[in-house]
Structure 1
Amino acid sequence: MADAMEQLYQQVILDHARARQGAGELLDYGGESFQINPTCGDQVTLRVNLDPAGETILQLGWTGEGCSISQASLSVMHELVTGHPVTRAEELGGYFRDLMAARGRELDAVRQEALEDASAFTGVARYPARIKCALLGWMALRDALVQARGRA
């Protein structure tokens, strides 16, 4: 059973790396963050557009280069947070950081389920060198949200 889950998780990551959700330059935005992983060279420029009250993520776009893990993580993140409240995005970011800190162990059922496809990165957390790849987009989102909320 564990092998079947591992294969499913790997397929989710590969699917998102190939069909990158949210990839593309966002021209109208309130916050922007450029992040680079100096260890491997992965990089992303992420832009976010919030509603006028600064409470909901209306649009999120990103451009970047890197390994399938960093690109898939950005794609999954885009699906999870676009159209949702900033507070929910921050909560999910915390869950994802917890997942990476768990080093390959699943989180409790509530957080694991909330992460949806992002739970596929459970196995990635077993490899310390890959954790930064998976977190790259989430760190960019955190930074871009701070900027966008400051301007809202």
Structure 2
Amino acid sequence: MPSEQDIYEEHVLDHYEDPYHRGPLESATHADEGKNPLCGDVVQVSLRLSDDGRIEEAWFEGEGCVISQASASMLIEKVEGKTLDEVKAFSADEMLELFGPKLTPNRQKCCLLSWRVLQSAIHAPVDAGDSEDDSDGPHFGGPSLSEES
């Protein structure tokens, strides 16, 4: 079993301290948010998809442990420019491999949170605001990840 020290390898800390595309994406066409109920980590993924189904831009926001936030940064960097088919084919095992250090099952959930949100976000177009009830901000389609068992 790896020590806590091993988990926080240099590249993990680099992504945590200087994340790739962390912040809002005003021109998002697709987005979703998820929470890890075990520890409270939260990640929102926002995407701008091209007409031909390619991720032109990807950003994330969130709060949580080093693992959840660093893995979100790594994933966002990896998927920019990919097609939707490539993103759909990117597996949970590949996400854990991308992260690097071996993780306990509970810590794997932290790492896979952004991957789960990304997989949901590609199916969740941002509501263009056509409805009159626009006071609550943007609305995202699809099931809530916090409702999963």
Structure 1 and Structure 2 fold alike (TM over 0.5): yes
Q: Using the TM superposition, give the Cα deviation of residue 18 of structure 1 relative to its aligned residue in structure 2, in angstroms.
A: 0.8
1:82-132 deviation per Cα after TM superposition (whole angstroms, max 9, x unaligned): 11212222222x1xx12578xxxxxxxxxx6xxxxx1514x12xx111111
Q: Secondary structure of 2:100's partner?
A: helix
Contact 1:25 1:63 in 2 (8 A): yes
Aligned residues: 123
Q: Which amino acid aligns with 2:26?
A: L
User: In the alignment, what sits opposite 1:75?
Assistant: 73
Q: Among residues 100, 104, 107, which one is paired with 1:120 in the alignment?
A: 100
Identity %: 31
Which residue of structure 2 lines up, in the alignment, with residue 134 of structure 1?
Answer: 111
Report if the CA contact (8 A) 1:100-1:131 is conserved.
no
Q: Is 2:27 the partner of 1:32?
A: no
Name structure 1 gaps, 5 residues minimum: 102-111, 113-117
SS at match of 1:49: strand
CA distance in 2, matches of 1:135, 1:8: 15
* Over 4 Å off, 4+ runs: 6-9
The verdict on how the C-alpha distance between 1:52 and 1:140 changes in structure 2, with shifts beyond 3 A counting, is same
Aligned residue in 1 for 2:9: 10
Q: Which residue of 1 aligns with 2:83?
A: 85
Distance 1:27 1:86 in 2: 20
d(CA) in 1 for partners of 2:110, 2:46:
18
Once the two structures are overlaid, the 10-residue window that deviates more, 134-143 or 83-92, is 83-92
Q: Which amino acid aligns with 1:98?
A: D
| Greater helix proportion | 1
Give the equivalent residue in structure 2 for 1:109.
Answer: none
Residues 20-62 of structure 1: per-residue CA shift (max 9 Å, x gap): 1010100111111110001000001111110023x10011111
How do residues 91-102 of structure 1 correspond to structure 2 at under 5 angstroms?
91-92=89-90, 94=91, 97-98=92-93
- The 5 A counterparts of 1:32-51 are 32-51=31-50
Q: What runs of 5+ residues in structure 2 fail to find an aligned partner?
A: 129-149
Query: Is the CA contact (8 Å cut-off) linking 2:95 and 2:115 kept in structure 1?
Result: no
> Which structure has the greater CA radius of gyration?
2
Following the alignment from structure 1 to structure 2, what is the Cα–Cα distance between the partners of residues 91 and 75?
Answer: 19
